Amino acid sequence: MTDVTDPDSHEPLPPPAEPTAPAAAEPIAPPPPAAGPPQPALAWPPDNFARRRVPRPLLGVSLWCFGALFWSYLVAGEIVVWSAVPEALGVLAVMGAFGLAWYRGTSQMPRLPHWRWLLPGIIGFCLWLITLLMSSAIFSTGGRSSAEMTALLLWSFAASVYTLGRHLTALNPAPLSQRARAARLAFWLIAGLSTLFAGVNIISYA
């Protein structure tokens, strides 16, 4: 029987375990962002482009009237000179194009005195008269080939001014009846065919 009081009879105790560093916690990935509402498709032209289009009715309608008058004068003059179309019909077509541009450009202008409605047409007519006198003084000499090239150059200038005037006017789209839509389609068809006929004649003799 072993004596419990004998110190040599006990087995040595195991050394205490060394403290270990706690294991680093694994990083937790953030949750995926919640899906937001579907984004609308990008429209063209963008909204900021449309907001930058500031309407300038007086300048726009004036250039619109000038471009329509100058363009119709060049087209009708080319057709009358080199075809059997009577001159009275050409003058009527020119005045009709000028009047339609004047009326269409001022149709959405705010309520103003009557002289403000007349001003764009007067400015457009004066610009046409000045441009006609200057072009006649500058391009008066030369043969038929140079005259046709001059007409083509002035024609391009008139079309550019017409487009710029419509852009600056910035008319709001208005609903049209079926009859008005058919009349507008017929007008643009006649204008396009007349322009094509005059352009072919200019290019053939340029």
Alpha-carbon distance 44 to 92, whole Å? 40
Q: What pLDDT, on the 0 to 100 scale, is given for residue 170?
A: 80
Assigned token pair, 61? 């309608």
Is the pLDDT at 28 greater than 80, yes or no?
no
Split at pLDDT 50, 70, 90, the class of 95 is: very high
> Running DSSP on this structure, what letter comes out for residue 15?
P
Split at pLDDT 50, 70, 90, the class of 49 is: very low
Is the pLDDT at 4 greater than 60, yes or no?
no
Q: What pLDDT, on the 0 to 100 scale, is given for residue 111?
A: 65
Q: What pLDDT, on the 0 to 100 scale, is given for residue 2?
A: 46
Alpha-carbon distance 111 to 126, whole Å? 24
Least confident of 37-51, 90-104, 148-162, 180-194: 37-51
Mean pLDDT of 17-29: 54
Higher pLDDT, 57 or 156: 156
Higher pLDDT, 144 or 72: 72
- Supply angle C-alpha 157, 150, 190, rounded to 5: 60
Least confident of 28-32, 50-54, 174-178: 50-54
Tokens 């706690």: give the residue.
Answer: 22
User: Which residues, including other chains, have CB under 8 Å from residue 172's CB and lie 6 or more apart?
Assistant: 108
Q: What pLDDT, on the 0 to 100 scale, is given for residue 44?
A: 54
Q: What percent of the chain has pLDDT over 90?
A: 19
Amino acid letter, 106: T
Q: What pLDDT, on the 0 to 100 scale, is given for residue 78?
A: 85
Mean pLDDT of 69-78: 90
Is the pLDDT at 1 greater than 80, yes or no?
no
Q: What 3-state class would DSSP assign to 200?
A: helix
In angstroms, what CA-CA distances link 134 with 92, 130, 167, 188?
A: 24, 6, 26, 30
Mean pLDDT of 7-23: 53
Mean predicted lDDT score pLDDT of the chain: 76
Is the pLDDT at 50 greater than 50, yes or no?
no
Higher pLDDT, 137 or 1: 137
Mean pLDDT of 97-101: 91
